[in-house]
């Protein structure tokens, strides 16, 4: 049933888009301007295309409300979290934290920027400081 209403809804949506685009532009926005109606009348004559647009719009709203009712009935009071199950719900206390003493900067080996040749030749330990102090001159 839902698929049938959804198909009708999509056909109505495409028809509504087409009927709006095919209507004659009256110039100006919000119904301002245009001609063809009475001299100072607030309403212009309803054309066949305007009537078709109204019928399609009413049908679109009815199918929208119908799809909403069907979706609410199929939900059955369940939640998205109920569908996930308890397998993925881990208490915050059980989540392992990163080691605060871990190095966040990757080891780049003997790469140095600037400095002396003696500092460049010195190996670097895991803490980022030279393993041996530079030779004093």
* Segments making up each domain of the chain, as ranges: 1-23+49-75
pLDDT tens for each residue of the chain, 137 residues long:
899 999 999 999 999 999 999 987 776 555 555 555 545 555 556 788 889 999 999 999 999 999 999 988 887 776 777 766 555 555 666 666 666 666 566 666 666 666 665 555 555 555 655 556 666 65
Contact 6, 67 (CB under 8 A): yes
Cβ contacts of 119 within 8 Å, gap of 6 or more: 112, 130, 134
What are the helix (H) ranges across the chain? 2-22, 48-75, 80-84, 117-121
Rounded distance between C-alpha atoms, residue 96 and residue 94, angstroms? 6
């Amino acid at each position: 049933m839902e698929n049938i209403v959804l198909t009708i809804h999509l056909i109505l949506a495409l028809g509504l888009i087409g009927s709006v685009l095919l209507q004659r532009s009256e110039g100006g926005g919000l119904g301002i301007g245009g001609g063809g109606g009475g001299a100072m009348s607030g309403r212009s004559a309803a054309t066949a295309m305007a009537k078709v647009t109204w019928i399609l719009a009413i049908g679109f709203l009815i199918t929208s409300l119908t799809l909403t009712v069907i979706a609410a009935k199929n939900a059955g009071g369940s939640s998205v979290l109920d569908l996930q199950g308890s397998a993925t719900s881990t208490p915050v206390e059980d989540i392992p934290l990163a080691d605060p003493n871990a190095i966040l900067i990757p080891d780049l080996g003997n790469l140095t920027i600037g400095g002396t040749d003696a500092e460049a030749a010195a190996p670097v330990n895991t803490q980022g400081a030279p393993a041996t102090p530079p030779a004093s001159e």
